[in-house]
A and B are shown apart, each in its own frame.
Chain A
Amino acid sequence: MSQFLQAAAYGFVQGGLLALVAVGFSLVWGIMNVINLSHGALAVTGAYLAWLLNTHFGIDPFLSIPIVAACMFVLGYVIQRGLINLVINAPIFLTLLLTFGLGLVILNTLQLVFTADDRSIETSYASQSFVIWTVNIPYGRLGACALAVAITVLLALVMTRTRLGRAIGATGMDRGAARLMGIRARHIYAVTFGISAALAGIAGTMIATVGTFNPTSTPSQLTLDAFVISVLGGLGNMYGALAGGLVLGVAESIGGLVLTGTWVNAIAMAVLILTLIIRPSGLIGKAQYGGRVEV
């Protein structure tokens, strides 16, 4: 029993981390209908930034978040304005291909600069943990999970309460109408992608704090997880991504306990296909996104 509780608790905090990766991915997908295959690469870029700040200047990863987020925002803005906006009206494969190529460029650059070795940020607290009723909870992961929840709530507030957030939402619903209302779609798309990249960078920082990362296997795993969580939660829905991440984290963690062999790798995909067949709009998704006919 305590084994299950431990697995559930671990899955929960792990899920929060995954949710943080997925929120930005889901935002870009929901607003621009772009599946950003370089999302994992952007997260790992953020991880390297935080790692550099930590090893060279001794800045704590939680404190380096604003710097990482600002750098990643600028990078994301430039990528969207300079590249993705050029093919935004093309069929879906093209944005897929573009972001795939972009991911290759980013990752191979990282690999040339930092080598393919596993890295992690060492802190005094990340490996410490406390015990609640036989369940072990590590501080680092709990902090990352709490941050994920806080950022998700903040982003949801920004999206509904501010002029910028409403402009982003409006552009996502109907770009033509939004432009007629005087919204500069190019700029809004770039800001959206910038926010997504900043969130990816923050997630990368947290991943570097609680575990290891490298430029070869980490990015594709993160992109795939973000994919599954976005579909599970419902596209463009911040709380959906959070719920999706938590569900996936717990499912994988408990699955790892119950299943033998490598079946645990199939859990994410099983969750994905079941969601698509039973409820394509996701856990909390609106029909607007789930039922949208895409061209």
Chain B
Amino acid sequence: MANSWPTLAGIAVFLAMLGLQQLIEPGTQRLLTAVFLFVALAQAWNIIGGYTGYASFGQVAFFGLGAYTVAVLMNNYHVSFWAAMPVAIVIGVAFAVGIGVPLLRLRGHYFAIATLGAAEGAREVINNMTPVTGGGGGITIPTFGDQAPTAYLGKPGFYIAFLVVAAASVAIAAVLARSRFGYAMVAVNQDEDAAASVGINTTLVKVIAFGVSAAIVACAGAFYAFQQIAFYPTDVFDTSFTVLMVIMVVIGGSGTVLGPLVGAVGLELLAQYLRVNLGIYNQLIFGAIIVLVVIFFPQGVVNFFRDAWRSRNFSILDNVRRYRL
């Protein structure tokens, strides 16, 4: 079984991360929890943006909807988190299908802007449904005593929860990528008309890819809401979540399973390091690093090293010339 080693490696990493939890302190656990969150988000974006080629800039809508579904159900209706989380996924997918059917007809930049608009719209709806969501005043999930529908998981609990979400997202991406559906997504990405002409139902492929992506993001949003306890619409509908997802995938290498993983882990650790050690300069350096990586590794770090390994050409200068005018 020559092709089973990535699966084995994945399982080994998962078990190693589980074991690592016993060795590290709560602060580090929280840091890694954030890394896991971004692994899941990046994998989700990669399914619609990387494989299918539709750059969704509205992913944060699913995140916010997932978060608010859980918070509203737990706070207003005293529903257990484990019952609310699946509902959050269903709502995320329903929203994706609802906006996906009209918007996935648009291509390129137009799709990107339209999804951005949909996310802003979703935020405003949540923001103005004050009787249900608390509006701009935010919402709080009861976590203490008899009022708590589900006991708070704590740092160790959320470490495991986000690890499982991240692992599941990697597994879903890996399975999809190797399936017939994965080839259909890539075909739509490369040439949609050609894909349609060989009998691929392109609309269905795009909507399913968007839905799967939304499901992962909504699930991550649900856990994030529970972890945060209290939050505002501007927190969970923050466009910078979407931007980070895109950056992580593109820098890691879009259209690969490994790329988003590398991008999310690398960038989140880097961002945390800069935040702690460079204070006011952290955003400046972060921006500069994005610019440099885009210039030197335009196809993503993973794709660069894979191609470089195959062609035995590790020249970064040649790589810069690749997309030059």
Contacts and interface: CB of A to CB of B under 8 A. Distances in A.
A102 interface: yes
Contact of A98 (B130, B291, B324): B291
Contact of B250 (A85, A94, A295): A94
A227 to B, nearest CB: 6
B325 interface: yes
B323 A87 contact: yes
Interface residues of B, number: 48
Given A94-B250, A97-B290, A101-B287, A86 B324 contact: yes
Interface residues of A, number: 46
Contacts of A102: 287, 291
Contacts of A280: 106, 110
Contacts of A5: none
B121 interface: yes
A90 B288 contact: no
A189 B325 contact: yes
A89 B321 CA distance: 10
Nearest to A290: B110
B247 interface: yes
A287 B55 CA distance: 23
A93 B49 contact: yes
Interface in A247-278: 261-263, 265-266, 269-270, 272-273, 276-277
Given A280-B110, A293-B107, A294-B107, A186 B325 contact: yes
B136 interface: yes
Interface string B175-202: 0000000000000000000000000000
Given A86-B320, A92-B109, A103 B120 contact: no
A109 B287 CA distance: 11
Contacts of B246: 93, 96-97
Interface string B87-115: 00000000000000011001111101110
Contacts of B290: 97-98, 100-101, 104
Q: B103, B127, B290: which has the most chain A beta carbons within 10 Å? A: B290
A174 B295 CA distance: 24
A59 interface: no
28 contacts: A35-B109, A86-B323, A86-B324, A87-B295, A92-B108, A93-B246, A93-B254, A94-B294, A96-B55, A98-B294, A100-B287, A103-B287, A104-B283, A104-B286, A104-B287, A104-B290, A105-B284, A107-B283, A108-B281, A108-B283, A185-B325, A261-B128, A262-B136, A263-B124, A269-B117, A272-B117, A273-B114, A276-B117
Interface of A: 29, 33, 35, 83, 85-90, 92-94, 96-98, 100-105, 107-109, 112, 185-186, 189, 227, 231, 261-263, 265-266, 269-270, 272-273, 276-277, 280, 293-295
